[in-house]
Amino acid sequence: MTRCVALIAHDQKKDDMADFADRHQARLSGWRIVATGTTGGRIQTACRSLEVTPLKSGPLGGDQQIGAMIATGEIDMLIFFVDPLTSMPHDVDVKALMRLATVYDIPMALNRATAEILMITHAN
Ligand SMILES: O=C(CO)COP(=O)(O)O
Q: What is the pLDDT of residues 6-48, one digit of tens each?
A: 999 999 999 999 999 999 999 999 999 999 999 999 999 999 9
What is the 59 CA–ligand 1 centroid distance (Å)? 6
8 A C-beta contact, residue 80 and residue 9: yes
Which residue type occupies 123? A
In whole angstroms, what is the distance from residue 68 CA to residue 74 CA?
9
Provide mean pLDDT across the span 73-99. Answer: 98
Provide mean pLDDT across the span 44-64. Answer: 97
* pTM recorded for the entire structure: 0.97
In whole angstroms, what is the distance from residue 123 CA to residue 72 CA?
21
Number of domains in the chain: 1
**What CATH number should be reported for the domain holding residue 48?**
3.40.50.1380
Which residues does ligand 1 sit against, CB inside 6 Å?
A: 8, 10, 36-39, 57-59, 62-63, 90, 94
* Domain limits for position 22: 4-122
Confidence band, pLDDT 50/70/90 cuts, at residue 1: confident
Confidence band, pLDDT 50/70/90 cuts, at residue 89: very high
